[in-house]
Amino acid sequence: MEINRQPDYIAEIKLILSQARNKAYTAINAAMVEAYWQIGKRIVEEEQNGADRAGYGDEILKVLSEELIHEFGKGFSHTSLKNFKKFYLTFREVQKGQTLSAQLSWSHYERLMRVPDTEARAWYISEAVTQNWSVRVLDRNISTLYYQRLLSSQKKELTKDSEVPETHATDEFIKNPAVLEFLKLPANKSYTEQEFEQVLIDNLQQFLLELGKGFSFVARQKHIRTETADFYIDLVFYNYILKCFVIVELKTNKITHQDIGQLDMYVRMYDDLERTEGDNPTVGILLCTETDSTIARYSVLHENKQLFANKYLAYLPTEAELAAEIEREKLVIKQQLGL
């Protein structure tokens, strides 16, 4: 029986066309984003010319909207023009030699304009470009205060006026608390650690995004055998940026000192039996429903740069609720640092 196979040249031609379409889309997108910025700039300049006339700004937008819709069709409503103006005002730094990224669409910039903090917005732009975030991923990360949840930003804020040395680069990849609403864990009934682990595996791609950049999955229930016993580690990842293994232990309860002791043992064991030449020291993360400042201060968590106790939220909180959780976790970090 003869099998019909697509000739290599057809596949190559399809690839050429696909790449050309992507280049064309990127070029068109970059041109339109630049045009919207220029329109916003021109609107602001015109408004400044008539700043002494009441309602002059609204009059400009109304007249301009009517003219543009008549000639160019939909997409230039009064609201759209106000967004173009805001776009220019938000990214005035383009005038200082900086450029708008061609990799981000107008929808990306619309979401970024709603980030009030300048440093946070710059960080989101950088990450969206380097990590190739879709608009949906960008929106979730902003909505769940990704930037504010990074343990490094919390620790730097806590230690910048003290004599505590700068924290290890590992901190830049650990968010606290973790937001796991995509797991759809039951809110009104308990679930086991095995069930928790299973839903994480079922939603592995989203969990990797929540963990942060550079993570890849290695093993589930990783078997470690010593001379006297067998042990099973819940989840093992590798971070190719940090060049280290990352152990994640799951708990469906408030943290205990036994949990921390177990995690510490697993990290030491993994370093001894599994870590290879060229790997940095293994990192351990304990995901639990509640952290504890006393345990953070008086357990091996205290000033240990390789162990992290992270609270997880099984639901999507409001921004105010999440901000409050971040502040609570900062207190725990203070205890861990002995501040």
Q: What is the dihedral of CA 28, 33, 39, 45, to 10 degrees?
A: -140
Least confident of 199-213, 254-268, 316-330: 316-330
Span 315-337, pLDDT tens digits: 999 989 999 999 888 888 777 77
Report pLDDT for 53: 66
CB-based contacts of 288, cutoff 8 Å, min separation 6: 251, 252, 253, 254, 255, 259, 309, 310, 311, 312
Asked whether residue 163 carries a pLDDT value surpassing 50, the answer given is no
Nearest to residue 76, comparing CAs of 89, 90, 62?
62
**Which residue would you say has higher pLDDT here, 240 or 163?**
240
User: Helices (H) and strands (E) in the chain — how many of each?
Assistant: 13, 6
Report pLDDT for 309: 92
CATH class of this structure's domain 148-337? alpha beta
What are the sequence ranges of the domains in the chain?
8-102, 114-143, 148-337
Tell me if the bond preceding 186 is cis, omega within 30° of 0: no
What value does the CA radius of gyration of the chain take, rounded to a whole number of Å?
25
Nearest to residue 144, comparing CAs of 315, 316, 334, 337?
316
Q: How many residues does the chain have?
A: 339
CB contact at 8 A, 229 and 273: no
The pTM of this model reads 0.82
Q: Is 234 helix (H, G, I), strand (E, B) or coil?
A: strand
pLDDT confidence tier of residue 162, bands split at 50, 70 and 90: very low
CB contact at 8 A, 229 and 248: no
On average, the pLDDT of the chain sits at 87
Least confident of 70-74, 85-89, 110-114: 70-74
Spell out a b/e string for 146-162, using b for 16 or more CB atoms within 10 Å of the CB, else e: bbbbbbbbbbeebbeee
Rounded distance between C-alpha atoms, residue 290 and residue 177, angstroms = 10
CB contact at 8 A, 173 and 237: no
Asked whether residue 231 carries a pLDDT value surpassing 60, the answer given is yes
Asked whether residue 2 carries a pLDDT value surpassing 80, the answer given is no
Residue 195 vs residues 16, 184, 202: alpha-carbon distances, Å: 46, 12, 10
